[in-house]
Amino acid sequence: MLGLGKKKPPPIRSLVCEGSVVQGNIRFVEGLRIDGEVQGEVTCEDERSILVISENGRVIGKVKAGHVIISGEVRGPIHASELLELQPKARVVGDVRYELLEMHQGAVVEG
């Protein structure tokens, strides 16, 4: 049950599968999970969006979404308008902007 003030996260409706390589920009709504590689910008203007980059996921380019969860690698600037979560195996090379940050032991940021 959700407590007062808690918002239900948006559903993840899009997926870049493991083994896939996308060359170009991706704009999404609600939620996106990246298990493969994206060479380009990954953006959502909606603050109520969620972007998950799994352990095998990689983005080479700008990342922008409301809630960003990184377990894999990002090479480029990140802007999380609400929350940036860096899981233990996260590797980030680039500047980061966020409202709130949750960084687990083992995560690496070079920016």
Distance CA 24, CA 107 (A): 27
d(CA 60, CA 111): 14
- Alpha-carbon distance of 3 to 9, in angstroms, equals 13
pLDDT for position 2 = 43
Rounded Cα gap, residues 24 and 21, in angstroms: 10
As given in the structure block, the two tokens for residue 17 are 């599968």
State yes or no: pLDDT of 72 exceeds 60. Answer: yes
Task: For residues 98-104, give the mean pLDDT.
Answer: 96
| pTM, rounded to two decimals | 0.91
What is the chain's mean pLDDT, rounded? 93
Query: Tell me, what DSSP letter sits at residue 66?
Result: E
Percent of the chain residues past pLDDT 70, beyond the cut: 94
Mean pLDDT score, 15-35: 96
Q: Please tell me the predicted confidence (pLDDT) of residue 45.
A: 81
